[in-house]
Amino acid sequence: MTAKQLITELYLPIQSSDSVALALSRMEEYRLSHLPVVDGVEYVGLITDSDLSAVNDQEVSIDRCGFTMIRPYVSENHPVYDVVRQFHDLKLTALPVLNSTNHYLGLIVLQGLTDCFAALTAVGNPGGVIVLELNDKDYDLTEIAQIVESNDNKILSLYITSFPDSTRIELTLKLNRIDIGPVLQTFFRFNYLVKASWSSEDSYNEGLQERYDGLMNYLNI
More confident residue, 202 or 187: 187
pLDDT at position 200, please?
61
Instruction: List residues bridging with 107 in a β-sheet.
Output: 96
Burial class (CB in 10 A: 0-12, 13-18, 19+), 44: buried
Cα(211)–Cα(216) distance, rounded to whole angstroms? 9
pLDDT at position 216, please?
54
Instruction: List residues bridging with 39 in a β-sheet.
Output: 42
3.40.50.1950, 3.20.20.70, 3.30.530.20, 3.30.2130.10: CATH of 129-199? 3.30.2130.10
Instruction: List residues bridging with 103 in a β-sheet.
Output: 42
Name the residue ranges covered by the structural domains of the chain.
3-118, 129-199
pLDDT at position 217, please?
59
Architecture label for domain 3-118 = Roll (3.10)
Whether residue 214 is predicted with pLDDT greater than 70 in this model: the reply is no
Q: Taking residues 13-34, what's their average pLDDT?
A: 95
Count, residues in the chain: 221
pLDDT at position 209, please?
46
Cα(77)–Cα(5) distance, rounded to whole angstroms? 9
More confident residue, 51 or 206: 51
Q: Which distant-in-sequence residues (6+ apart) come within 8 Å of 220 by Cβ? A: none
Question: Mean pLDDT over all residues of the chain?
Answer: 87
pLDDT at position 115, please?
77
pLDDT in tens, 102-153: 899 999 998 877 777 777 666 667 789 999 999 999 999 999 999 999 999 9
More confident residue, 81 or 206: 81
Strand 34-39 to 14-15 pairing: parallel
pLDDT in tens, 71-96: 999 999 998 888 988 998 999 999 99
